[in-house]
Amino acid sequence: MNRLLKVSVIVAVVLCFGGVIYAADSNEFGQLLSKIKTYDFDKSRVDCIKVSDMIREASGKPEMKGMEKQLDAFLESDATYAAKDFVCRELSIAGTEASVPALASMLTDEKVSDIARYALERIPGPAVDDALRKALPKAEGKAKIGIINTLGVRGDKKAVESLAKLTNDANETVAVAAVAALSRIDDQGATDAIARAKDKATGAIKTAALDAYLRCADRLAAKGQKNAAGAIYKELYAANEPMIVRVAAARGMIETAGDKTGEVVVEMLKSADKPIQTVAIATLKEVAKTDVIKAAMEQIPNLEAIQQAQLISALADCGDKVALPTVLAAAKNSHDFVRVTALRAMGTLGDVSSVDMLVAAAVSSGGEEQKAAQESLYRLRGPDVDDAILKKLPDAEPKAKVELVRSCEQRDIKKSVPVLMKTAKDADAKVRIESIKALRALAGPQDIPALIELQLAASGNDRGELEKTVVVVSKKIPEDKGQGQAVLAALPLAKDLDAKCSLLSVLGKIGDESALPVLREALGDKDDQVKDAAVRALSDWPTATPAADLLKVAQTSENQVHKTLALRGYVRLAGLKSNRPAEETMKMYKDAMALAADVSEKKMVLSGLGSTDSFEAMQMAESYLGDKELKEEAEAAVMKIAEERAKNSPRISAQTKDILQKVIDGTTNESVREQAQKLLKQGK
Amino acid sequence: MSENNKVNRRGFLKTAAGVAAGAITIPYIVPSSVFGADGSVAPSNRLHVGMIGVGGQGTWDMRGFLDKSETLVVAVCDIDVKHQKLAKAETDLKYGNSDCKTYLDFRDVIARSDIDIISTAIPDHWHSIPAIMAAEAGKDIYGQKPLARTIKEGRAICDAVKRYGRIWQTGSWQRSVYNFRRACELVRNGRIGKVHTVEVGLPTGSTRGNESIKPVPEGVDWDMWLGPAPWVPFRGILHWDWRWIMDYSGGQMTDWAGHHIDIAHWALDLEHTGPVEIEGHGTYPKDGIFNVPYQYKVTTKYANGLTMIIANDRQLPHGMGACFYGDKGWLHVTRDEPIHAEPKSVVDEVIGPNEIHLYESKDHFQNFLDCIKSRRETITPAEIAHRSLTPALLGEISMLTGRKLKWDPEKEAIIGDEEASRMLSRPMRSPWHLYM
């Protein structure tokens, strides 16, 4: 007796203790729920968020059971729609079968049926299905359709009979929903019901049934039941079904044909219906077996040009080289778009044996066809393609040579450099130019002496292109490793003035500072041609380092051409990006303006000034607003500077506003005025 | 007359493109010469386009079609009559006639047998139903990203597109920009070595206070706008800002998944798979009408050991874009910037003919139109868009449950978390369902 009492007391204490803890949590949760009873969509969500957080915290813990009970009770309370909507959303994630009674009671009420379903559809367990099935006959309108939809989503096999009956419903929306729901239920009875609906129905219900039947077949196929799936596809492939259904069925037939895939593909390629031919071609990649590809290839002569082109592309996508002879033959097709397609396919399927054919096509055609041949030549895969190209290059005809040289560049064949050095001296001008351009991409620093040799021996356009090549290749050397050394070393080799000037020009574009003394010395050369070359080279310099040299020439030269060239170069260098203080840049422009001899030179200075991001530059430009001849350039410079400054600082200073107002008042250019007004408006 | 001219041009366009011809896959583009020396096509021979959703993005897409000689925009549809009128005015002005028809219900556009292309730019919760219906009706589809609001809806779109052999282009246009393809080719060809981590930076979200219930603006069909989403009264959120509300969107993370996650997948050859582990942490608004996270960080692991971190730009060192970290260096690509890499020489590397060359498109709309003619898969088919979006949608579920998820990318199932699995789909408001 004592022992029993003891045990009873312990149990009571435990229960009581547990109850106290539960009550504490439960109270907090309950209080929150009371608060949200009046929640509406335009109110604060703070308490709802707290409820959500508590539910998430309780997920998988024993206390969730009690909380769920409170949520269910909440649904039966007089809470607002918004509050119940919120609770249903919570139950959709945290709810269990325990919530079914509360939710099921809402199902037939069209006002709240959707929110109840929102929860029920996601809650697992047969009790939910039972409740939905039970509600179905009592529900009407949208509530009924919603229940049908949810039964489908849940794949409830026990609902098949009821849903099957509803496929005959007088309400078309209900019948369509029933058909769609049946298609989501993995059950033979459901599939049979859809088949019956397909045969009996018309209009939207028939369309839905055909789609549903296809999805049943797809599911069977995915489960490996290819015969059953194939039978449905075959039934739907019948000539009297809509073409889009036949197309889908044809795809299914091919995918489930197993060993007979080739036969099915051929049968479809022989079809009188182009869409069927097309779907057979489209599906080829998914069933890409060599025997099927071969069977399809044999049908090419029987296809119209459009389908031929489509099939050739499909063959390329399959990537099986067995198709190469067919593609080669198609490259000679009488239809240009078939030829283009075949030439493009060669890039994927071709190999070393395709080089001649692609070169010939690139040489003999133009437009898209030539582009296709060229691109495929550039893309041909295989370890021996590059060697084949190099082997053919020296003895090819000029036009073929051009194509082969281009392919060396595009294929990045570094080992082609010695060959290209030779073709850069070819008798054919186009071959030479293409070779020099290819060398620009492929040659390395070790090739610079040879390139300079070519440069010095060349003339005219060739020399110009070679100068560019020497510059580009020299710049492949790291900046601190003497980019101009090879050119400097070659200077003594220049046999005539033209050659020397050509090298000086290259030195200017490279911009290696160790070349500056040489160029400065050349400024004082006794020969005007050399001086001219030196001024131009310094003007091309990539940084402002030789600016002072150019200024000096502009100030002191007695040769007007050199003066002009130097001033132009000086303004160019002033405009290059630099870390020097803004006032130094301003001084450069002021010096340049002081030296500008005529209107065109002044315009040039103002144009350069426009790239300077400083208020002083704007003021300088402003000072020319009243000059009739320079007004236009001055306005442009002011606007350019002002806009650039506005990007960094939207607030416009009073002084800038004054200048802009001056532009507005004085300009005759409407666009400039609008631009200035817009800036002023933005800056307010 | 040359041989190619013997092919009836209308026949070519229409039979190569529509159900009249069926479906095909061709990798190579039919030359513009087929359409005439200058590439022009008579109006009666053009592919007819029906635009569903002509707000900001939809108008942008509409202009994409208006600019093409092969297409004719014949229908514009929107739940906002104002949008309809503006879109029709622009279309009529372009064509110099008044032929473009306006619609409120997208089903009426899809039902038109003369329409070959459906283009959709509508809120995310509306993406699946019209897409599936359009596929069933034999239309080719230009669909805006993200592909769908849930993973199951995305799968249903992919299945429908495949079932009916439709050509699908997702609005993930970055794939048609040289810089992105170039970056992906450099990564794919191992220029930064074996990639172990990729950071995907997407925009940061925003918050907003609670909104009062307001009268529905004149000319707006609010019930149609809500469609399959739960009923709520109109609170002033209609265009654009729907993307901050969970019923309609997953926020910036899911919105932009179709851009930078897509690029990350492309570069890493993960386009047909997905992560195996996902752990997300988000900062959600404490109140207000917006309820998607404005800050987020999702760490995903792939079966090959790769880690992908998806986060709002402010939480990542390189901000927006995709930044790949390999055992030989790193590479970052984003919009309007050159590719940055370490070592710097990586950006100048040449990809040789025997290396991997990715699908090339120089014009996203043109790629779609070319594929309609050739029946080749586009540069961003539905399946790829679905896989690009999946990590973000799983990240969203992880954030909502507060748990790390395990994912089977083959079966597309969450492993061992029944509650989280419930969020792979969403119940739809009646009468809407996936297979209307």
Q: Which pLDDT tens digit goes with each residue over A67-82?
A: 999 999 999 999 999 9
Q: pLDDT band for A269, please (50, 70, 90 cuts).
A: very high
Q: Is the pLDDT score of A23 beyond 60?
A: no
Q: A343-367: per-residue pLDDT in tens? A: 999 999 999 999 999 999 999 999 9
Residue B241 lies in a domain: yes
| Mean pLDDT value across residues A130-158 | 98
Residue B375 lies in a domain: no
Examine the domain organization and report whether B186 and B312 are in the same domain.
Answer: yes
* Consecutive H or E run containing B58: helix B56-66
Strand partners, B202: B312
Question: Which member of B7, B212, B352 has the closest CB to residue A42?
Answer: B212
Q: pLDDT band for A647, please (50, 70, 90 cuts).
A: confident
Residue A460 lies in a domain: no
Q: B360-382: per-residue pLDDT in tens? A: 999 999 999 999 988 889 999 99
Residue A657 lies in a domain: yes
Asked if B401's CB is within 8 angstroms of A142's CB, the reply is no
pLDDT of the residue at A185? 98
How many domains in chain A?
Answer: 1
Domain that holds residue B20: 3-174
| Mean pLDDT value across residues B391-402 | 98
SS3 B296: strand
Q: Do residues A33 and A73 make contact, with C-beta atoms less than 8 angstroms apart?
A: no
Q: Is the pLDDT score of B14 beyond 90?
A: no
Which residues, in sequence order, are CB contacts of B85 under 8 Å at separation 6+?
B102
Examine the domain organization and report whether B163 and B193 are in the same domain.
Answer: no
Q: Is the pLDDT score of B431 beyond 50?
A: yes
Question: Which member of B34, B165, B435 has the closest CB to residue A279?
Answer: B165
Which residues, in sequence order, are CB contacts of A441 under 8 Å at separation 6+?
A409, A412
Sheet of B413-415, strands arranged across: B340-342, B329-333, B321-326, B195-202, B307-312, B295-301, B277-283, B405-408, B413-415
pLDDT of the residue at A288? 82
Residue B435 lies in a domain: no
The neighbour count for residue A511, using CB atoms within 10 Å, is: 21
Chains A, B: CB pairs < 8 Å: 235
Examine the domain organization and report whether B242 and B388 are in the same domain.
Answer: yes
Q: Is the pLDDT score of B316 beyond 50?
A: yes
Q: What are phi and psi of B101, to 5 degrees?
A: -100, 150
Residue B365 lies in a domain: no
Q: A606-632: per-residue pLDDT in tens? A: 999 998 888 999 999 999 999 999 999
Q: Which of A597, A602, A551 is nearest to A574 (CA)?
A: A551
Calculate how close chain A gets to B40, using CA atoms only, in Å.
16
Q: Which of B248, B213, B266 is nearest to B122 (CA)?
A: B248
Q: A564-595: per-residue pLDDT in tens? A: 999 999 999 999 988 899 889 999 999 999 99
Sheet of B140-143, strands arranged across: B101-103, B71-77, B47-52, B117-120, B140-143, B168-170
DSSP string, B69-123: TTEEEEEEE-SBHHHHHHHHHHHHHHHTSS--EEES-HHHHHT-TT--EEEE---
Q: Which of B140, B174, B208 is the last residue of a domain?
A: B174
DSSP structure class, residue B220: B
* A548-557, B30-39, B266-275, range with the lowest pLDDT: B30-39
Q: Do residues A251 and B165 make contact, with C-beta atoms less than 8 angstroms apart?
A: yes
Q: Residue A85: closest CA among chain B residues belongs to which residue?
A: B230
Strand partners, A24: none
* Residue position matching structure tokens 């402003």: A622
Q: Is the pLDDT score of B33 beyond 90?
A: no
How many domains in chain B?
Answer: 2
pLDDT of the residue at B44? 67
Q: A530-550: per-residue pLDDT in tens? A: 999 999 999 999 999 999 999
Q: How far apart are CA A471 and CA A515, in angstroms?
A: 13
Question: Which member of A42, A114, A212 has the closest CB to residue B235?
Answer: A42
pLDDT of the residue at B130? 98
| Mean pLDDT value across residues B399-413 | 97
Residue A663 lies in a domain: yes
Residue A24 lies in a domain: no
- Across chain A, mean pLDDT equals 93
Residues of B in contact with A251 (CB under 8 A): 23, 162-163, 165
pLDDT of the residue at A212? 98
Token pair recorded at residue A394:
């020296």
Q: What is the CATH number of the domain that holds B417?
A: 3.30.360.10
Token pair recorded at residue A179:
């058909």
B387-421 as b/e: b if 16+ CB within 10 A: bbbbbbbbbbbbbbbebebbbebeebebeebebbb
pLDDT of the residue at A24? 42
Examine the domain organization and report whether B190 and B131 are in the same domain.
Answer: no
- Across chain B, mean pLDDT equals 91
Token pair recorded at residue A318:
């399959």
Q: How far apart are CA A279 and CA A538, in angstroms?
A: 66
Torsion of CA A391, A395, A398, A402, to 10 degrees: 10
Instruction: Establish if A306 touches chain B: CB-CB under 8 angstroms.
Output: yes
Q: pLDDT band for B12, please (50, 70, 90 cuts).
A: very low
| Mean pLDDT value across residues A244-252 | 97
Which residues, in sequence order, are CB contacts of A83 under 8 Å at separation 6+?
A36, A37, A38, A39, A40, A74
Q: How far apart are CA A482 and CA A486, in angstroms?
A: 8
Torsion of CA A169, A175, A178, A182, to 10 degrees: 100
Examine the domain organization and report whether B79 and B187 are in the same domain.
Answer: no
Which residues numbered 368-387 in A keep a CB inside 8 Å of some CB on B? Answer: 368-369, 372, 378-383, 385
| Mean pLDDT value across residues B352-357 | 94
Examine the domain organization and report whether B417 and B274 are in the same domain.
Answer: yes
| Mean pLDDT value across residues A435-455 | 97
Instruction: Establish if A317 touches chain B: CB-CB under 8 angstroms.
Output: yes
Token pair recorded at residue A161:
């009979």
pLDDT of the residue at A495? 86
Residue A258 lies in a domain: no
B224 residue type, one letter: M
Q: Is the pLDDT score of B37 beyond 50?
A: no
| Residue A575 half-sphere exposure toward CB, CA atoms < 13 A | 19
Q: Which of A98, A132, A130 is nearest to A113 (CA)?
A: A132
Asked if A247's CB is within 8 angstroms of B165's CB, the reply is yes
Residue A350 lies in a domain: no
Asked if B7's CB is within 8 angstroms of A310's CB, the reply is no
Residue A673 lies in a domain: yes
Q: Do residues B48 and B78 make contact, with C-beta atoms less than 8 angstroms apart?
A: no
Q: What is the CATH number of the domain that holds B117?
A: 3.40.50.720
Q: B250-305: per-residue pLDDT in tens? A: 999 999 999 999 999 999 999 999 999 999 999 999 999 999 999 999 999 999 99
Examine the domain organization and report whether B15 and B34 are in the same domain.
Answer: yes
Asked if A180's CB is within 8 angstroms of B210's CB, the reply is no
Q: pLDDT band for A26, please (50, 70, 90 cuts).
A: low
Token pair recorded at residue B296:
């987020």
Q: A382-413: per-residue pLDDT in tens? A: 989 999 999 999 999 999 999 999 999 999 99
Q: How far apart are CA B334 and CA B401, in angstroms?
A: 31
Examine the domain organization and report whether B153 and B297 are in the same domain.
Answer: no
Calculate how close chain B gets to A332, using CA atoms only, in Å.
12
Domain that holds residue A634: 580-684
Calculate how close chain B gets to A345, using CA atoms only, in Å.
7
Q: Which of B125, B152, B174 is the last residue of a domain?
A: B174
| Mean pLDDT value across residues A241-270 | 96
Asked if A383's CB is within 8 angstroms of B33's CB, the reply is no
Q: Which of B174, B204, B221 is the last residue of a domain?
A: B174
Examine the domain organization and report whether B103 and B217 are in the same domain.
Answer: no
Residue A675 lies in a domain: yes
Q: Which of B351, B343, B309, B313 is nearest to B326 (CA)?
A: B343
| Mean pLDDT value across residues B390-400 | 98
pLDDT of the residue at B43? 65
Token pair recorded at residue A374:
């060229």
Note the helical H segments in A576-649: 582-595, 599-609, 615-622, 631-648
Residue in A304, A335, A337, A341 to test binding to B, most B beta-carbons within 10 Å: A337
Examine the domain organization and report whether B169 and B277 are in the same domain.
Answer: no
Q: pLDDT band for A493, please (50, 70, 90 cuts).
A: confident
Q: Do residues B22 and A279 make contact, with C-beta atoms less than 8 angstroms apart?
A: yes
pLDDT of the residue at A680? 87
Examine the domain organization and report whether B166 and B196 are in the same domain.
Answer: no
| Mean pLDDT value across residues B1-6 | 36
Residue in B6, B9, B26, B167 to test binding to A, most A beta-carbons within 10 Å: B26
Examine the domain organization and report whether B337 and B414 are in the same domain.
Answer: yes
Q: pLDDT band for B436, please (50, 70, 90 cuts).
A: confident
Judged on CB neighbours under 10 Å (0-12, 13-18, 19+), A111 is exposed
Asked if A212's CB is within 8 angstroms of B435's CB, the reply is yes
